[in-house]
């Protein structure tokens, strides 16, 4: 049974049609990249999965259970956690307090100390407030908050947005460790090479519709797709 299935999903912002017959599928412990230019519909897809944008037609199933009519909280409690592009750490709470609050609202949280094993950079920042963290530290805290809630499916929205290259490398190492911990991951990312390094398969979306799906190795060989939909050539995807 697939972990997540979207079938012919149409979604709207008010009266604006933003997803068109979009379909995708994730299998157990798979890491899948959802790629496309800005405005292609990637973030909209994640928000539709989590219920913050209602779909009007189509089906969304999580482990075989239809979730389209569930509340945002009910979907989250099923084990689907979103790390938003905006990070949204609590600025006046410390790193520890951010993690404690996330754990308190989770049905079956993981040990907070495990988060410091995964994210050693946060270990020395336990008493630092969120507003005093760098962008990279905030991103790691945002991922740690999701992980402490013991997700089954982790949705990452542009995890490297605004980060310096050296921090991107550090985050990549951390996420590589995360995806080895029995978590299924769907990730949007403008840094194509970062996404290709972590993922096994990819979907490309354009104007709210699927335009391609396949293994990462195949995508690396498709200069036409890389140039037309991702604005990179073969040299940028080596």
Tell me if 127 is assigned to some domain.
no
CATH at residue 30: 3.40.50.300
The pLDDT value given to residue 234? 43
Residue labelled with tokens 């270990």: 123
Give tens-digit pLDDT for 186-218.
999 989 999 999 999 999 999 999 999 999 999
- Cβ-count burial of 165 within 10 angstroms (0-12 exposed, 13-18 middle, 19+ buried)? exposed
Position 178 in a domain: no
Q: Is residue 92 domain-resident?
A: no
Q: How far apart (Å, rounded) are the C-alpha atoms in residues 210 and 8?
A: 10
Residue 183 lies in a domain: no
Domain encompassing residue 195: 1-79+189-238
Domain for residue 158, yes or no? no
For residues 133-145, give the mean pLDDT. 92
118-136 CB burial, b ≥16 within 10 A, e <16: bbebbeebeeebbeebeeb
- Mean local confidence (pLDDT), 230-234: 65
pTM score, whole prediction = 0.91
Structure tokens at 74: 């009910």
pLDDT on residue 232? 61
Tally of domains in the chain: 1
Specify whether the CB–CB gap between 140 and 119 falls below 8 A.
yes
Examine residue 143 and state whether it is found in any structural domain, yes or no.
Answer: no
Tokens 């994210």 -> residue:
119
147 domain-assigned = no
Is residue 207 in some structural domain? yes
């Amino acid at each position: 049974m697939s972990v997540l299935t979207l079938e012919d999903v149409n979604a709207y912002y008010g009266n604006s049609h933003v997803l068109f017959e979009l379909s995708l599928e994730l299998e157990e412990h798979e890491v899948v990249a959802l790629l496309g230019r800005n405005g292609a519909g990637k973030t909209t897809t994640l928000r539709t999965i989590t219920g913050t944008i209602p779909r009007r037609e189509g089906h969304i199933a999580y482990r075989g259970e239809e979730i389209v009519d569930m509340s945002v909280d009910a979907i989250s409690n099923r084990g689907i956690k979103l790390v938003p592009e905006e990070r949204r750490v609590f600025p006046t709470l410390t790193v520890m307090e951010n993690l404690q609050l996330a754990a308190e609202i989770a049905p079956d949280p993981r040990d907070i100390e495990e988060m410091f094993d995964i994210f050693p950079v946060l270990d020395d920042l336990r008493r630092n407030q969120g507003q005093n963290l760098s962008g990279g530290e905030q991103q790691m805290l945002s991922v740690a908050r999701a992980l402490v809630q013991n997700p089954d499916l982790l949705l990452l929205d542009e995890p490297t947005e605004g980060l310096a290259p050296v921090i991107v490398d550090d985050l990549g190492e951390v996420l590589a460790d995360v995806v080895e911990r029995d978590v299924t991951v769907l990730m949007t990312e403008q840094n194509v090479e970062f996404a290709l390094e972590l993922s096994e398969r990819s979907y490309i979306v354009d104007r709210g519709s699927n335009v391609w799906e396949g293994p990462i190795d195949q995508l690396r060989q498709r200069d036409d797709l890389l140039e037309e939909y991702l604005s990179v050539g073969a040299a940028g995807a080596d």
